[in-house]
């Protein structure tokens, strides 16, 4: 304050500077006002003191920084309150040199102010430096990711940041949500797949600026808001728009693939190189300049899976085909073909060197990049294959390109002095080649190129061309053919991108459109093409202004929030100059094009006459045939030469008639009226040819078989119905209806402009003239703007770094010029001042309901109170009438708070649930204690119990005496039986059989238990046991008598037990823990489950019988080992040409679509090359660089070395890769627990649903950690073991189905077809790290075995999926908990689908094995019968070595009883061979 008046009134000094609309700065005055003075009072007093015109309107603006922004004060606001927020040094005296002062600005009656940067009395840099020194401004920051974070916002500061970042190879910079990209004219290694993964699901600004960040935000915004998105890439020619488009499409397809690549993604990626080859060319400003515009709309299902795509093209520059500027080239594809074609292709297409073609001949033709051109031709052919072009189609396209080049070599020479004598066409060799390539008659070709035909009512008139007219016709034919070829390629690409299911189903989908259209151009000679191109850029600039400035500010005003309008450059006037009816430049051009006697001079005169006073139209001197248009990017001079001809550039009717007479169907299809009709006729033609070939083949076959010419009159003649011939109708009847259905082509033509442009191009309309090129261009551009208007836009501004295409060279003047005409300063201002996050009240309540009070009734008031409690600054948010506006940091803060609040509630629920379980356990224990106490208090009941015990003991003593008497009687009988049984076993084991006799007297000697303690050291023992039990079952079946109840139970239990044995063949870990006693107990559980309560008494008999059989088998195996020592089996090396494993990297082949860099040797990987990519960390390298990998993939791999050095025996909470090795592919603790459950608990009800006692689980956990080998799992209940399995899975740092592939599995579930879901799931499984895959494979197989016994344990695949999905398919810890809860259903479904599919495969394999065993039993039975009838000395049986191979489908083999053989030895040899082959197949 400057002083105090009497009383309590405090006064302040205001320095107000006068600024008018016609001048920058004026006088200033000092006003002393009290604290409560309003801005209206200050304005009134300042106007009086400064002597300003009181009839005008004024506003008071506050300037807080030197050269900074102005903030207009509302009339009711108090300026003194603004002063109190300034630094202390600026509150007392605030001259304009300090950067803090007030401005009196003149405004319009509606309050609009023309904002311009204020100039200071001193230099801008000096003033800013003074403010920094005084502490009013922070130090200047050389490098910021977002231009909105600049402390001083000026053109020089923006240019300085872009320059500094560019020199540090940071070519991307944010301007709010807009991306600024500076073209470095070289490749930077920042586009590998790991960068796609890095930016996935990251908020804009969380990481450094990148084009992948825009793609990721657009993709996830589309999924969250369920609204279409579009990305507009703008900039002048040479600014890198095409490369940015390729990077965007690459990232969008990578985000949607999620581990499973469908044909649509491959087609989208392949379409880019094809369109670039045919539509891009080398210009003075750009080596890969797009000479057409394209809009790629990628369609997605609501789940984020690509559904299809559409490519729309705009205004191909046909004139480049025949003429170019100096140091420019024709379209890429011509050079690719001429340099990269093979010798056979050169001979087939009669190719010459580039300089020998007129259309390619030019000064300073530089062909030093031949190696690059050859590589690009190979890349083009691969891309065409990805799109769906077959080799014959490629040849047809290349033949058409060769024909277009040869058209330019056609020359004309007058035959005489008179025009009526006509022209002589040559050279003859060129005409012959051209006739052969187009498959047209040479005479007709010459006539079409030298004369035109006019048909009148009475006669046909022929007019020969003059030499200039003939050259024009020739060039017009070449341009029209190339344009038709390009349209046909776009049509075929769209047809390949179409999802055929869209023709049958009505499914709503979302889309992301990427616009890559020609940039603003200003050449030395600008013609009709630049005229249309720059008009398109004006429309896009208007669209940019609408969304960035006009709609944004109108939205703020409609909501009634406090906002100061920011002025911007409006280009509506320039657009009206081009397109406003009826005097727009396009309409005047169409009028002159329709006048037969109009010339370029009359066109220019009409333009000057109509727009003489238009500020955007600048006439040139009278003698210069040009005019100038003031574009938003600067003045451009257009030369009117050939404007009219290019506007009506259509193919002549004579040329169309000539090409329709071609013998080549492809040429006729190019100039056909409707592609659908041409396609349908192609199918019919192929059908007719097929019928003719089949008829000829039948005739030749009849001649061979009968020896005489076939009679052709046996076929009834075709009756031609009215309206068609016989052959055509027969072909229609024979052709499948789905082949001649052209509805997909009609749909594609409705989505693109192909139909309109082609019809106009070929001039096929008889009744009226076709629309002009400019009219077609305006119509297609209007359609594009309508599509963009229905989507939410993202903007990428591409900046050309220099005009000479030099690598990493930053031209300050050129970049500054682009920043000015794009309005970058104003864009950054509105981005910094505006609110990036906008929510309606309903959307805000829905997303942040957990943060708001539960009794919220009025959203507007509740949200305001909530923000006040949060302590948000007043300028960071505003609440309008229906919406909430937030700055981006505040939105991120709200999301973090929501995440924390949800996690707190989840923890609260977990604590409550655990307390509930503990309470329930406590109540059970208390009731049990009460029961025990009551029982102890009843003494009478105790005496009764003692009496009952005494009586029972007395009865037992009497029964035991009777038992001892009977045992002595049977001992003598058993001794005799044992001697006979031993002899019989030795004989039967040689024959591979053990006779089975079941009786009530079957008992097991005590010494047999010792043999069952033997451990299974070799999986081959299980195979031998399986065959041994199969023989026993077959012997029982072969008796042919009725089986008893005990025998039925034995057979059923043995068959199911054999299934368990088969499943244990390939688990090496089983042999280290399992013994025959465990198998015996498993068999006993199976018998008990099969017998039930009714046949419970038969269980001991069956178990004793099986124990005696198993004991005999074990003794035989022991003797076999003593006689034949075990041979070491050589491990087979598995060949896998697709996947490599290096240091936990899972490397699979990967086709590169955009240029990338090898992460090992840092050299380039060109597009369409094969490389290796890790599915986890997304590392990319050459095949030759696989040996150079020295960095582990998983972050937990380093624990291997550390734990090994420490000698730790930890088993829980350790990554799977640490617990596995080459010898133990599955963690030992996991294998041991699963094996125990499979042997002891498969028939336990609710085996995984019920939980074990917590203290028992903890005890087992500690014992396993202490010493794994010393733990006996039989001491613990089965539910304790199963609970520990789930705990081990939950405590893994990374689940078996890893965090990296979590979203991939979810996207696989979102696919519409079940077959696609299965294929996608198995594709992602193959990309898991090897330790995780092996462990998951073992676990899934275990769950299949559990689900197979659902009848006993009540565990279905769905219930198992519910239990294990949170254990093995967990959401990453960084994910939003609300999203994780929504994903629970998807994770469960994923695991359930996997279990069901594995169960189906499991049952199929078992059925195939049963068929093989049945066939084997038939052959063995025949062999036994044969040997019984034929006794040969020395034949002691049959020994067959069993080898397990991959099972294959086997059909049952029938054997004829009356099969004739020459000798008995041949029959026996055949049977033995069949047995061996069956065993090998098993």
Strand arrangement, sheet containing 877-879: 837-840, 883-886, 877-879
235 is in an annotated binding site: yes
Distance CA 1386, CA 1320 (A): 14
Give me the residues paired with residue 313 across strands.
294
Q: Does 236 appear as a known binding residue?
A: yes
* Of 1238, 1234, 1285, 1275, the residue nearest 1078 (C-alpha): 1238
Token reading at 1256: 């028992």
CA–chain centroid gap for 552, Å, is 33
Asked whether residue 239 is marked as a ligand-binding residue, the answer is yes
- Evaluate whether 1287 touches 1261 at the Cβ level (below 8 Å): yes
Per-residue CA distances from 825 to 115, 116, 183, 794, 834 (Å): 12, 11, 20, 18, 14
Q: What whole-number distance in Å separates Cα of residue 1202 and Cα of residue 1208?
A: 9
Interatomic CA distance for residues 598 and 953, integer angstroms: 132
Q: Which residues contact 698 (CB under 8 A, 6 or more apart)?
A: 710
Task: Report how far residue 317's alpha carbon sits from residue 441's, in angstroms, rounded to the nearest whole number.
Answer: 30
Q: Binding residue per annotation — 1350?
A: no
Alpha-carbon Rg for the chain, nearest whole angstrom, is: 44
Q: Distance (Å, rounded) from C-alpha 396 to C-alpha 394? A: 5
Decide: helix, strand or coil at residue 1174. Answer: strand
**Could you give the CA distance from residue 383 to residue 377 in angstroms, rounded to a whole number?**
10
| Encoded tokens for 1073 | 């823990």
Beta strands in 301-405 (DSSP E): 306-314
Is 242 among the annotated ligand-binding positions?
A: yes
Residue 117, both tokens = 């940067």
Tell me how far apart the alpha carbons of residues 1421 and 1379 are, in angstroms, rounded to a whole number.
Answer: 63
| Conformational region of residue 404, where left means phi above 0, alpha means psi within -120 to 50, and beta covers everything else | alpha
Q: Is the dihedral of CA 1426, 1427, 1430, 1434 positive or negative?
A: positive
Contact 1227, 1264 (CB under 8 A): no
- 102 to 35, 817, 978: CA distances (angstroms): 16, 31, 120
CA distance 1452 to 754: 58
Q: Is 774 annotated as a binding residue?
A: no
Pairing state of beta strands 883-886 and 877-879? antiparallel
The four Cα atoms 207, 212, 215, 217 give a dihedral, to 10 degrees, of -10
* Cβ pair 14, 29 in contact under 8 A: no
* Nearest of 276, 281, 223 to residue 246 by alpha carbon: 276
Q: Which residues, in sequence order, are bridge partners of residue 230? A: 513, 793
- The annotation status of 238 as a binding-site residue, yes or no, is yes
Indicate the DSSP class of residue 1075: B
For residue 309, which of 318, 317, 301 has the smallest C-alpha distance? Answer: 301
Token reading at 1241 = 């608990």
- CA dihedral (796, 800, 806, 809) in degrees, to 10, reads -90
Identify the residue whose tokens are 């002589």.
Answer: 424
Q: Is 237 annotated as a binding-site member?
A: yes
User: How far apart are the C-alpha atoms of 113 and 61, rounded to whole Å?
Assistant: 10
Distance CA 1440, CA 292 (A): 73
Separation of CA 1224 from chain center: 35
What does the chain come to in residues?
A: 1482
State the Cα–Cα distance between residues 166 and 530, nearest whole angstrom. 30
DSSP state of 295: E
Binding-site residues for ATP sit at 235-242
Binding-site residues sit at 235-242
């Amino acid at each position: 304050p400057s002083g105090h008046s009497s009383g309590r009134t405090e006064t302040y000094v205001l320095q107000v500077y006068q600024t008018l609309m016609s001048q920058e700065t004026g006088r200033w005055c000092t006003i002393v006002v009290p604290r409560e003075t309003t801005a209206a009072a200050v304005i009134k007093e300042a106007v009086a003191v400064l002597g300003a015109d009181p009839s005008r309107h004024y506003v008071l603006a506050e300037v807080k920084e030197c050269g900074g922004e102005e903030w207009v004060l509302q009339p009711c606001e108090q300026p003194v309150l603004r002063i109190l927020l300034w630094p202390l040094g600026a509150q007392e005296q605030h001259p304009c040199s300090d950067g803090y002062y007030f401005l009196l600005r003149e405004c319009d009656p509606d309050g609009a102010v023309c904002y311009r940067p204020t100039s200071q009395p001193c230099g801008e840099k000096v003033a800013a430096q003074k403010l920094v020194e005084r502490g009013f401004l922070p130090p200047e920051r050389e490098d910021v990711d977002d231009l909105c974070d600049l402390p001083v916002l000026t053109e020089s500061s923006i240019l300085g940041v872009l320059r500094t970042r560019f020199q540090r190879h940071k070519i991307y910079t944010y301007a709010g949500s807009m991306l600024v990209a500076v073209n470095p004219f070289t490749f930077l290694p920042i586009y590998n797949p790991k960068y796609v993964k890095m930016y996935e699901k990251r908020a804009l600004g969380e990481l450094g600026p990148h084009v992948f960040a825009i793609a990721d935000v657009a993709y996830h915004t589309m999924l969250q808001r369920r609204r279409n998105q579009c990305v507009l890439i703008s900039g002048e020619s040479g600014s890198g728009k095409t490369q940015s488009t390729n990077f965007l499409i690459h990232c969008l397809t990578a985000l949607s693939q999620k581990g499973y690549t469908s044909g649509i993604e491959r087609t989208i990626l392949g379409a880019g190189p094809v369109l670039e080859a045919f539509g891009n060319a080398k210009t003075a400003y750009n080596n890969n300049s797009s000479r057409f515009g394209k809009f790629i709309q990628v369609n997605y299902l609501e789940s984020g899976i690509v559904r299809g795509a559409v490519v729309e093209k705009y205004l191909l520059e046909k004139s480049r085909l025949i003429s170019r500027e100096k140091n420019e080239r024709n379209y890429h594809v011509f050079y690719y073909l001429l340099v990269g074609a093979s010798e056979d292709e050169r001979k087939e297409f009669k190719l010459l060197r580039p300089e020998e073609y007129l259309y390619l001949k030019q000064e300073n033709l530089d062909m030093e990049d031949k190696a690059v051109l050859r590589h690009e031709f190979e890349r083009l052919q691969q891309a065409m294959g990805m799109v769906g072009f077959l080799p014959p189609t490629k040849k047809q396209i290349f033949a058409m390109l060769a024909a277009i080049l040869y058209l330019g070599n056609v020359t004309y020479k007058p035959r005489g002095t008179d025009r009526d004598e006509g022209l002589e066409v040559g050279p003859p060799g060129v005409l012959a080649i051209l006739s052969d390539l187009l498959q047209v008659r040479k005479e007709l070709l010459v006539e079409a190129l030298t004369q035109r035909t006019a048909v009148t009512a009475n006669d046909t008139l022929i007019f020969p061309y003059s030499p200039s007219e003939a050259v024009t016709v020739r060039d017009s034919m070449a341009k029209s053919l190339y344009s038709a070829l390009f349209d046909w390629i776009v049509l075929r690409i769209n047809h390949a991108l179409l999802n055929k299911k869209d023709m049958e189903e009505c499914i709503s989908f979302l889309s992301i459109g990427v616009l890559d259209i020609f940039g603003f151009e200003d050449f030395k000679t600008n013609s009709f093409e630049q005229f249309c191109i720059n008009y398109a850029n004006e429309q896009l600039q208007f669209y940019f202004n609408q969304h960035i400035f006009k709609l944004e500010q109108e939205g703020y005003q409609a909501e009634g929030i406090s906002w100061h309008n920011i002025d911007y450059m409006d280009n509506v006037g320039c657009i009206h100059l081009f397109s406003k009816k009826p005097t727009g430049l396009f309409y005047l051009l169409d009028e002159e094009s329709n006048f037969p006697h109009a010339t370029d001079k009359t066109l220019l005169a009409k333009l000057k006459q109509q727009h003489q006073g238009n500020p955007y139209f600048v006439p040139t001197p009278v003698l210069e045939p040009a005019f100038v248009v003031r574009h938003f990017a600067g003045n451009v001079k257009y030369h009117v030469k050939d404007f009219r001809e290019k506007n009506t550039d259509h193919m002549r009717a004579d040329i169309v008639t000539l090409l329709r007479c071609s013998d080549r169907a492809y040429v006729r299809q190019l100039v056909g009226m409707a592609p659908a009709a041409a396609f349908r006729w192609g199918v019919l033609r192929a059908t007719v040819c097929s019928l003719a070939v089949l008829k000829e083949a039948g005739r030749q076959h009849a001649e061979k078989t009968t020896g005489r010419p076939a009679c052709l009159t046996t076929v009834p003649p075709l009756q031609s119905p009215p309206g068609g011939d016989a052959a055509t109708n027969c072909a229609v009847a024979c052709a499948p209806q789905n082949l001649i259905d052209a509805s997909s082509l009609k749909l594609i033509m409705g989505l693109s402009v192909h139909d309109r442009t082609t019809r106009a191009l070929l001039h096929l309309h008889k009744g009226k003239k076709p629309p002009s090129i400019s009219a077609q261009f305006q119509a297609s551009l209007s359609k594009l703007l309508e599509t963009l208007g229905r989507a939410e836009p993202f903007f990428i501004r591409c900046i050309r770094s220099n005009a000479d295409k030099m690598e990493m060279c930053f031209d300050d003047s050129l970049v500054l010029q682009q920043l000015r005409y794009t309005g970058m300063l104003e864009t950054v201002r509105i981005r910094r001042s505006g609110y990036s996050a906008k929510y309606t009240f309903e959307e805000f309540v829905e997303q942040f309901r957990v943060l708001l009070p539960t009794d919220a009734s009025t959203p507007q008031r509740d949200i305001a109170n909530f923000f006040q409690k949060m302590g948000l600054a007043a300028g960071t948010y505003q609440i309008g009438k229906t919406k909430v506006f937030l700055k981006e940091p505040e939105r991120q803060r709200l999301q973090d708070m929501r995440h924390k609040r949800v996690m707190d509630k989840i923890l609260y629920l977990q604590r409550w649930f655990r307390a509930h379980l503990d309470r329930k356990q406590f109540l059970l224990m208390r009731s049990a204690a009460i029961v025990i106490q009551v029982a102890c208090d009843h003494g009478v009941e105790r005496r009764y119990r003692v009496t009952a015990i005494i009586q029972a003991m007395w009865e037992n003593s009497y029964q035991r005496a009777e038992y001892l008497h009977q045992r002595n009687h049977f001992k003598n009988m058993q001794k005799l039986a044992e001697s006979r049984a031993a002899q019989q076993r030795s004989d039967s084991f040689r024959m591979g059989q053990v006779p089975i006799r079941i009786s009530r007297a079957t008992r097991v000697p005590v010494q047999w238990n010792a043999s069952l303690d033997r451990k299974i050291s070799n999986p081959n023992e299980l195979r031998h046991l399986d065959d041994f039990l199969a023989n026993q079952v077959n012997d029982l079946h072969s008796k042919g008598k009725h089986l008893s109840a005990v025998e039925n139970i034995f057979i059923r239990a043995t068959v199911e037990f054999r299934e368990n044995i088969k499943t244990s063949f390939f688990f090496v870990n089983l042999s280290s823990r399992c013994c025959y006693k465990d198998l015996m107990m498993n068999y006993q559980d199976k018998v008990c489950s099969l017998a039930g309560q009714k046949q419970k008494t038969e269980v001991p008999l069956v178990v004793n019988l099986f124990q005696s059989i198993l004991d005999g088998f074990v003794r035989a195996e022991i003797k076999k080992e003593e006689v034949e020592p075990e041979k070491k089996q050589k491990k087979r090396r598995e060949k896998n040409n697709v996947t490599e494993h290096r240091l936990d990297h899972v490397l699979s082949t990967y086709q590169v679509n955009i240029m990338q860099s090898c992460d090992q040797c840092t050299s380039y990987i060109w597009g369409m090359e094969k490389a290796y990519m890790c599915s986890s960390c997304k590392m990319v390298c050459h095949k030759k660089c696989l040996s150079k990998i020295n960095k582990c993939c998983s972050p937990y791999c380093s624990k291997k070395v550390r734990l090994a050095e420490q000698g730790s025996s930890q088993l829980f909470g350790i990554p799977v890769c640490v617990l596995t090795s080459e010898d133990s592919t599955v963690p030992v603790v996991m294998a041991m627990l699963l094996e125990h459950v499979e042997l002891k608990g498969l028939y336990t009800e609710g085996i995984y649903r019920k939980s074990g006692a917590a203290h028992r689980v903890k005890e087992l956990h500690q014992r396993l950690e202490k010493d794994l080998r010393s733990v006996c799992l039989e001491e613990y209940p089965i539910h304790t073991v199963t609970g520990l399995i789930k705990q081990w899975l939950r405590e893994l740092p990374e689940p078996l189905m890893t965090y990296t592939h979590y979203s991939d599995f979810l996207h696989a579930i979102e696919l519409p077809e079940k077959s696609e879901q299965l294929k996608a799931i198995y594709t992602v499984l193959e990309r898991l790290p090897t330790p995780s895959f092996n462990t998951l494979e073992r676990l899934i197989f275990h769950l299949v075995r559990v689900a197979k016994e659902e009848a006993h344990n009540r565990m279905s695949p769905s219930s198992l999926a519910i239990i294990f999905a949170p254990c093995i398919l967990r959401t990453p810890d960084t994910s939003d908990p609300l999203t994780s809860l929504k994903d629970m259903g998807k994770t469960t479904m994923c695991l359930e689908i996997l279990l069901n599919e594995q169960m189906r495969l499991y049952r199929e394999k078992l059925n195939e094995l049963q068929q093989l065993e049945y066939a084997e039993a038939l052959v063995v039975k025949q062999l036994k019968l044969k040997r019984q009838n034929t006794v040969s000395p020395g034949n002691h049986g049959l020994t067959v070595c069993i080898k397990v191979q991959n099972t294959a489908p086997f059909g049952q083999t029938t054997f004829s009883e009356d099969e004739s053989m020459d000798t008995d030895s041949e029959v026996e040899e055949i049977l033995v061979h069949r047995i061996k082959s069956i065993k090998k197949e098993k």
